Amino acid sequence: MIESYSFGKMVVDGQTYTSDLIIFHDKIDDNWWRISGHHLVTEDMKRILHVSPEIIVIGTGFYGLLRVDNKVREQLNSMNINLIAEKTKKAVESYNRYFLDKKTVGAFHLTC
């Protein structure tokens, strides 16, 4: 469960993170870099899709500057994976709502 989020900082299960991260069911990857920085493309999704999630929550940043490519949306739709992409503060709420009930992965941009 994500305990808190503020610009550049997220606390998950008592651990503080200050870089972009992916929260899987059994681990956290706290070194999430995207090929195109503020543009999420299909190549960036390989690690996430490897675990076959039902829901992927993308935190697009405090101001929402991370953009999800339409090809990502199309790919997830064709795989019947629900995508929730919203500013990170709201994405935290969505992730916390679903992570226990569904196979959910959260990927969060912590700054801009």
Q: What is the pLDDT of residue 101?
A: 81
Identify the pLDDT of residue 55.
97
Q: How far does CA 36 lie from the centroid of its chain?
A: 16
**CA angle, 75 then 84 then 94, to 5°:** 150
Region 13-42: mean pLDDT is 95
User: How many domains in the chain?
Assistant: 1
Pairing of strands 55-59, 82-86: parallel
Question: In which band, very low, low, confident or very high, does the pLDDT at 17 lie, cut at 50, 70 and 90?
Answer: very high
Q: Which domain holds residue 52?
A: 2-108
19: domain CATH number is: 3.40.1230.10
- Predicted confidence band of residue 39 (pLDDT cuts 50, 70, 90): very high
Name the DSSP letter for residue 27.
-
The sheet that has 2-6: what strands, in order across it? Answer: 2-6, 9-12, 15-17
At 93 the pLDDT is 98
What pLDDT does 94 receive?
97
The pLDDT tens digits for 48-107 are 999 999 999 999 999 999 999 999 999 999 999 999 999 999 999 999 999 988 899 999
The predicted pLDDT at position 102 comes to 83
